[in-house]
Chains A and B, each alone.
Chain A
Amino acid sequence: MAFLTPLFLLLGLLAAPIILMYMLRLRRREVLVSSTLLWQKLLRDREANAPWQKLRRNLLLILQLLILAALVLALARPFLPVPSVVSGSVVLLLDGSASMLATDVPPDRFTAAKEEAARLIGDLGGDYQMTLILVGQTPRVLLAASGDKTELRRALAAAEAETAVADWPAAFALAAGAAQGFRDARIVIISDGGLPPELPPLPARPIYLPIGRSGENLALAALATRNTETAVQLFASVANYGMVERQALLSISLDGVLYDARRLRIPAQGSASTTWELTPPAGVPLGVIEAHLSELQEDHLSLDNRAWVVHEGGVSNRVLLITAGNLFLEQVYGVLPGVTAFKAPPGTAVDEEFDLYVLDGAPLPDPLPAASLLIINPPVPELAASAAGDLFAVTGVFSNTVAVRLADSPLLEYVDWFGRINIRQAKNVSAPWAQALVQAEGGPLILFGERGGQRIVIMTFDLRDSDLPLQIAFPILMANITEWLNPGRAFASSAALLPGEPVRLRPTTGATVVAVQKPNGDLWRALVAEDELIFNETIALGVYNVLLREGSGDRAAGSFAVNLFSPDESAIAPQTAVRVGQMVVETAVAGDIGQRELWPWLAALALIILVVEWWVHHRGAQPPRIRKQR
C-alpha cells in the first residue's frame, strides 16, 4: 500500500492535542457529599466490572483517535496496486452501435461493456484522468478529461446503445483529439470488434477489450419492391452470419395482416433470397410491407430480424389520361413515381373517381370532376362543353410563342425553357382565376391557378405542335406539374435507409407544418420555413409517416422505413483483434498496474466510528451539573 498524498499523514500529530485535551478533561471535579458510605457500597459492587469501567473511561479517547487515524489515512489517499489493463490517463471508446445490443452476454453486450468500463474507472490512478466517448451513429464525448470517478460513473450509467451503425472514423478523430491533452495516455476500445478497415492511426497506444462470445445471428439483409408490368415484386434476402446452417420462417405482412410465410434454409456464412409477386387491387397502394424472421434456433441480435418497406413511398395517385393517343404523355405518366395512369378516349363516360384528369385536346367532361385538371390544348370554344364556359375562354390562336417571362414558381424548378422550346402555335386562352406560368409575346403558354380549391393547369398548345416533349425539360416539367396538381410523398429518400441517416423533407407549396410520426408514435414537427427540411431522428427502426398540414387539415404525404441492413452490425461475431492504422491490436491482458484507492472506505469507517462515539458519549454521561463547592 502506498499513499498519493503522504504529507497529509502529518495531520496525525493532531492526536497529541486530542490526548492532551482528554487528560485535561479527565481531571475529576471534587464534589462534597454528606457521606460516601453509600457510594463506597456502590463502588465495591462495581469492582467486579472494573476493567470495563477503566476501558470505558478511555473508550471515547480511543474512538476519537481512531476517527482521527481514519480521516488522516483517507486524506493521505492510500491505494492498493491492482493488476489492470490500463494505467495512466485513458480515452475510453465505448461501442454503442446496434451490434452491442446482442444478447450473447447476458443481459446484453452493452451492459457488459459498461461493467468493463466501470472497472477501468475504478482502477484509474489518482493523478490521471479519463475521457468517455460513446461511439454511436454520431460519436459523443460523455465526459471529457475528468478524474472524478463519481462523475465518470454517472456519465457511464447514462450512456445507452443505439440501434444505429457506429461511425468509427469520427470516434477515432475525437479520441485522437482527447488523447493529445493527456500525458501517458491510453486509448481503450471496448467493442465487439465491428470496426471498419482502414481506420486512421491513433496518437496513443490503443488497447482493445473485446465484448461478446457468439456470432450466431440471422438477419434480414434486404427487403425491396419494384414494379413489374403486372404486379409489384417484393425481394427479401436473409443472411446467416453464424457458423451453422440455420432454418427460419420468413413472414410477410401487408399493413399488419399476414400475407405469406416461407421457410428458408440459410447456409452458414451465406444468404438466401426469395421474391413475391404482390398484386394489390388496382389503384390501392400497397402500404407497409413488413418482413419478420421467426422460429430461430440461436439468434443473439433481434434488431435485424424485422424489416419494413413502403412501396413507392406509400403514395399512389390515379391519373386518367383522356386522349385520342399521345405517346409522350402515356410514357411520362407510365414512369412517374407514385402515379398510376389510366387511359380513356375522349367522350368516354367516366364513372370512377380519379385524383387527376389529364385532358389532351379533349372536351371537358360535364359535369366538371372535382379533382385536379391538366388541360392540354383546350378545345376551341364552339367545341367546348358548357362546363368549360365559365372556366376559360379561347379567343384565337397566336404564333408569336417566344417566351418572354417565366413565373417564379416551383413548377418551373430545374426547367430550362428559354431558347430551347419551340412551339408552332398556341391558343389564346383567358382565365381570370389563373396566372401565367410561361408568358409568350402573343399570350400565355402555360396557365396555372386554383379555382375553388381545385388546382388546374392549362397548356395552351398542342404538344405535338412543339418540340417540348423532346426536351429534357419535358419530364421535369410534367413531374413538377403533376406533383403540384397531385402532391405525392413529401420526402426524397433512398429505399434503404439506415438508422440515423437524414431524410430530406420537401413539403409542397401551401404546407405550413411538416410532421413525422416516428415508429413509437411520437410526432416530430417543424414549421415550413425553407423548401427543404432535414429530418435526422431516424435512430429507431420501423416505419415513419410524413404528414403535411395544408390549410386546415393534415394530409398523409408518404412513409419511409428505416432498417438495420448493415452487414457490419449484423455480423456480431466478436473479433479478437482490431486493425488500427498499420497496427493490429490484440485483446488486452491485465499487464499494467492500476491503483485502487481506499479513501472512501476509510471515510466511511470514520463516519461509523463517529456514530459509535456519539452513542457511547450520550449513553455514558449526562452533562454534569455544577454544584456550589464549600
Chain B
Amino acid sequence: MNLFDEATLHKLEQLTLVAARVRVGVMKGDRRSSKRGTSIEFADYRNYVKGDDLRRLDWNVYARLERSFIKLLEEEEDLAVHLLLDASASMHWPDNDPPTHKLTYALRLTGALGHIALTAGDLLSVTLLGNNNRSWGPFRGAQNSLRLLQFLETITAVGPTDLNLSLRNYALYGRRPGLLFVVSDLLSPGGYQEGVAALQARGYEVALLHLLSPDEVNPPLGGDLKLVDVETAADAEITLDPTTLAQYRERLGDWLAEIAAYCAARQVHYIPITTDLPWEKLVMQTLRVKGVLK
C-alpha cells in the first residue's frame, strides 16, 4: 500500500497543526506557547512582586525609572500530537469500492497529519483503537515520517471496538496531553461521548474526524433484507422501501446533527467526512477552513 507520493508529501510539509489551546511542552519547540517563558522573544512587562526571580528584572528600566519591572518573555514549546485511529472491522468498508474505503482513507489522513506533525517537530504518537490497541511513538522529527508510513501500511481493520473504553483508557494511561485526533466512523454501539469527556478532562484538545462512506449515507439497498453487522455480527430484519430509506436518511441526519451539537457544546473540533471527498482536498482545504491546520 502506497499511502502518498512524493509531491503530496512535499505539499504536506508546508502545513502546520494548530492547537488553539497550546500545551506545555517538555522540549523547546518551534511554536509559541501561551506560557511566558525563557526564550528571547519579548512579550510584556509586569510589576515585580516578592519572590520573583531577580534574574528576570529589567535593570535597564529600573535604572531609568527606579521602578522594578519583571520582563516577560515568550516561551516557545513543542506540541504533543496524538492520532487515534479506529481500526475496527466497521472501518473495512465498503469492501468492494477501494476509492471510498474508510480504513484506507483514515490511514491516508493519519499519515498526512502525522507527517505534518513530525515535520513541525511535534511529538507524535499514533494509537489504534481496537486491533489490540497497537501504537507507534511517541516520536519527534521529520526523520520518522518514513517509519510512520511503514507502520500505517501494516494496519488492518479487524474486530470490534468500544470507543468509550478505548478513549477512556487512553486518557488514563496517556502521557503528555496535547492535540488529539480521533479518526473513526463513530459506529460504536456504546457511543463515544464518555471517552471524549475523559480525554478533555485530562487536558487534551480533541478533534473528531468522522468518516462515513457514501453507501452508508445512501444505502443502495431494497427489498426484504436481513442486515448483518460486519463488526458485531448483529442482524436486523428490515423491509426496505423508499419510505424506509427516507426514514434512514432522516435518522442519519439527526445522528450527525447530534454529534455536531455535542462537539460544539464541548469545544471539540468536529469534521464529518464522506470518503468520496478527495483526501488531499480534505487536508489542504477542509481542515484549514476548520482551523485545524494552517
Contact = CB atoms under 8 A, between A and B. Distances in A.
B248 A39 contact: yes
Interface in B236-265: 236-242, 244, 247-248, 251-252, 255
Contacts of B236: 36, 39-40, 43
A130 to B, nearest CB: 52
A620 B221 contact: no
A42 B244 contact: yes
Contacts of A29: 223-226
Given A37-B187, A46-B244, 12 more contacts: A30-B226, A34-B230, A34-B231, A35-B216, A39-B236, A42-B247, A57-B224, A621-B223, A621-B239, A622-B223, A624-B224, A624-B240
Contact of A30 (B187, B228, B240): B228
B194 interface: no
17 contacts: A26-B224, A33-B230, A34-B187, A34-B231, A35-B230, A36-B228, A36-B232, A621-B223, A621-B240, A621-B241, A622-B222, A623-B223, A624-B225, A624-B240, A625-B220, A627-B221, A628-B96
Given A34-B90, A34-B216, A624-B221, A28 B241 contact: no
Contacts of A623: 222-223
A45 B228 contact: no
B69 interface: no
Given A39-B236, A42-B247, A630-B95, A33 B224 contact: no
A35 B229 CA distance: 5
A28 B225 contact: yes
B105 to A, nearest CB: 13
A32 interface: yes
Interface residues of A, number: 33
A622 B90 CA distance: 27
Interface string A437-473: 0000000000000000000000000000000000000
Contacts of B229: 33-37
A36 B251 contact: no
Q: Which are the 7 A-B pairs with shortest beta-carbon distances? A: A624-B223, A35-B187, A34-B93, A622-B222, A28-B226, A36-B229, A36-B236
Contacts of B226: 28-31
Given A34-B231, A625-B221, A45 B251 contact: yes
A31 B228 contact: yes
A56 to B, nearest CB: 8
A32 B220 contact: no
Interface in A579-624: 619-624
Nearest to B242: A622
Contacts of B225: 28-31, 624
A69 B116 CA distance: 73
Nearest to A53: B239
A321 B223 CA distance: 110
B237 A28 contact: yes
B160 to A, nearest CB: 10
Contacts of B234: 36, 40
A420 to B, nearest CB: 110
Contacts of B61: none
Contacts of A53: 239
A334 to B, nearest CB: 103
Contacts of A41: 251, 255
A232 B169 CA distance: 136
A34 B90 CA distance: 5
A33 to B, nearest CB: 5
Interface in B175-200: 185, 187-189
A347 B225 CA distance: 125
A38 B90 contact: no
Contacts of B244: 42, 46
Contacts of B94: 34
Contact of A33 (B188, B223, B228, B237): B228
B255 A620 contact: no
B227 interface: yes
Interface string A43-64: 1011000000100110000000
B132 to A, nearest CB: 21
B222 A627 contact: no
Contacts of A621: 222-224, 239-241
A33 B248 contact: no
A623 B222 CA distance: 7
A542 to B, nearest CB: 71
B222 A624 contact: yes
A38 B248 contact: yes
B141 interface: no
A45 B230 contact: no
Contacts of B185: 34-35
